[in-house]
């Protein structure tokens, strides 16, 4: 089923040649699915350059009964921007204006199509910080970041995208524009509509603009790489770091020996930052806007206390920005570093932070029971209880045969996370790939509420149908 030709003609007229793509080569980047599991089937991509044009496209599609798949940078990992037959992709990639920056108000207002990196850099130029940072920041767009409530490495201190947004502009399924671009620290006038659209993955509205919160620029950073002989101690280390450092603790990542070894092998100048091998590592970062120094001393003293109390076995504090960057590289390359080891079945789960060690232990044992030789490589944002519980294939196993057991492994891991009060998608969302998982892990009460909200705001199910909730 392709799109009605009358609609395409009207859209082409309204959007101009750059605004409507229908040729294969032009379409390719919009149809790509990052995990390589699916191909998007859209025959056209609409690229409005203003909110009003976006609303016009939505109205035209509503009249024609055509469903719309909103798309930011198309960097999502759960198929949330994949279009089905007869659906139109609506890309925000021509709406890239930073509308205003107000450093005294600590806010920035921008089009939804701005790249995350552009927003970061615009804030930096004004002496401010936009703290959201993640691997795809050079290609993901603010509308997608908000629609998926993206996380990254600064969530412990600054919260996810949701916490960094004060106001939204949204095109609704009937083509009306909601101007909720408020730049207010406090506003208790009715229901929290912006929080409904944030994280809704384009199923309730298309975010076209946002007011983002800025912070004072950090003036000092201290980074340490710590070794632990027992995983449960990592929770004590986090608590101690927060007790001693408070808000300065901005990132707290964990990785296993296997991950460190893969990273060392992967990086051209990779080397073990510590002398002896240890089973677990934590990367701790403190930052502060204060100019009166003392952060490195604070981190060093905190780690000395941790060593004395038997919480850590060893640690090194970066003596320069270069050293800090080398430590971070070990963490940041982990997804790539695991590739030479063979197939990897991935999970994006969270549990209460204090439960992470118990979760890793239980889930590792369970997958090993189901598949002897499987190599769990759990790493990630311990500060948020969010672990990328990656499973590397057993040595020598056929990769295809291993990956065929993706759903089985997911089920084992997700059941354990759910039993611990956890989430089956801490960062990446539900999209298309986790729709069935969601229904399985949420109770009927919550599913009913979500369906009721979807029906209330998108009664004809024309916005990203089949994402988050199955199309009935």
Within positions 92 to 131, which residues make up the interface with a second copy, using CB under 8 A? 102-107, 127
63 makes contact with a second copy (CB under 8 A): no
Shortest distance (Å) from residue 438 CB to a second copy: 6
Shortest distance (Å) from residue 64 CB to a second copy: 22
Distance CA 296, CA 449 (A): 48
Residues 342-401 that bind a second copy (CB under 8 A): 350-355, 381, 383-386
Distance CA 81, CA 72 (A): 8
Residues 6+ apart with CB under 8 A from 136: 73, 75, 116
Burial 119-154, CB ≥16 within 10 A → b, else e: bbebbeeeebbbbbbbebbeebbbbbbbbbbbbbbb
Shortest distance (Å) from residue 276 CB to a second copy: 27
Looking at the Cβ atoms of 375 and 454, the one nearer to a second copy is 454
Residues 416-455 that bind a second copy (CB under 8 A): 421-430, 434, 438, 441-443, 445-446, 449-450, 452-455
The stretch near a second copy (CB under 8 A) out of 3-11, 40-48, 83-91, 239-247 is 239-247
Shortest distance (Å) from residue 350 CB to a second copy: 5
Report the largest interatomic distance among the alpha carbons of the chain, rounded to a whole angstrom: 74
Number of residues that bind a second copy (CB under 8 A): 103
x/- site string to a second copy, residues 303 to 342, per CB under 8 A?
Answer: ----------------------------------------
Burial 411-436, CB ≥16 within 10 A → b, else e: ebbbebbbebebbbbbbbbbbbbbbe
User: Contact with a second copy (CB under 8 A): which of 288, 344, 364, 392?
Assistant: 288
Whether the CB-CB separation of 340 and 395 falls below 8 Å is answered with: no
Whether the CB-CB separation of 44 and 89 falls below 8 Å is answered with: yes
Residues 177-236 that bind a second copy (CB under 8 A): 177-193, 195-196, 198-200, 204, 215-218, 235-236
Shortest distance (Å) from residue 459 CB to a second copy: 9
Specify the pairing of strand 386-392 against strand 349-350.
antiparallel
Distance CA 262, CA 276 (A): 16
Shortest distance (Å) from residue 223 CB to a second copy: 17
């Amino acid at each position: 089923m392709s799109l009605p030709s009358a609609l395409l003609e009207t859209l082409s007229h309204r959007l101009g040649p750059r605004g409507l793509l229908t040729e294969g080569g032009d379409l390719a980047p919009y149809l790509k699915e990052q995990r390589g599991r699916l191909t998007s089937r859209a025959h056209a991509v609409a690229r409005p350059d203003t909110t009003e044009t976006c609303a016009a496209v939505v109205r035209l599609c509503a009249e024609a009964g055509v469903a719309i798949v909103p798309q930011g940078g198309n960097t999502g990992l759960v198929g949330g921007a994949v279009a089905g037959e007869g659906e139109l992709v609506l890309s925000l990639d021509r709406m890239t204006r930073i509308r205003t920056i107000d450093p005294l108000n600590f806010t920035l207002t921008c089009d939804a199509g701005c790249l995350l990196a552009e927003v970061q850099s615009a804030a930096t130029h004004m002496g401010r910080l936009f703290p959201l940072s993640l691997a795809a920041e050079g290609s993901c767009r603010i509308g997608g970041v908000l629609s998926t409530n993206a996380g990254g490495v600064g969530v412990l201190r600054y919260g996810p995208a949701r916490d960094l947004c004060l106001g939204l502009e949204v095109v609704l399924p009937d083509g009306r524009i909601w101007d909720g671009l408020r730049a207010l620290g406090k506003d208790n006038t009715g229901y929290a509509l912006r929080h409904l659209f944030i994280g809704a993955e384009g199923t309730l509205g298309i975010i076209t603009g946002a007011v983002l919160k800025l912070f004072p620029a950090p003036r000092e950073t201290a980074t340490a790489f710590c070794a632990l002989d027992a995983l449960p101690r990592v929770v004590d280390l986090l608590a101690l770091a927060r007790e001693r450092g408070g808000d300065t603790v901005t990132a707290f990542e964990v990785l296993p020996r296997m991950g460190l070894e893969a990273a060392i092998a992967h990086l051209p100048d990779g080397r073990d930052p510590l002398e002896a091998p240890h089973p677990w590592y934590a990367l701790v970062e403190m930052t502060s806007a204060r100019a009166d120094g003392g952060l490195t001393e604070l981190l060093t003293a905190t780690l000395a206390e941790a060593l004395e109390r038997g919480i850590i076995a060893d640690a090194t504090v970066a003596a320069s920005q270069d050293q800090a960057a080398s430590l971070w590289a070990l963490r940041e390359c982990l997804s790539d570093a695991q590739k030479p080891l063979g197939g990897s079945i991935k999970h994006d789960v969270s549990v209460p932070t204090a439960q992470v060690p118990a979760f890793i232990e239980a889930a590792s044992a369970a997958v090993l029971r189901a598949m002897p030789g499987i190599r769990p490589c759990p790493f990630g944002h311990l500060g948020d209880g969010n672990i990328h519980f990656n499973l590397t294939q057993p040595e020598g196993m056929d990769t295809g045969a291993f990956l065929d057991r993706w759903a089985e492994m997911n089920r084992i891991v997700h059941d354990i996370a759910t039993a611990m009060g956890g989430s089956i998608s801490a960062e990446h969302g539900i999209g298309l790939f986790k729709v069935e998982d969601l229904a399985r892990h949420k109770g009927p009460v919550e599913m009913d509420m979500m369906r009721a909200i979807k029906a209330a705001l998108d009664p004809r199910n024309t916005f990203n149908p089949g994402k988050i909730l199955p199309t009935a």
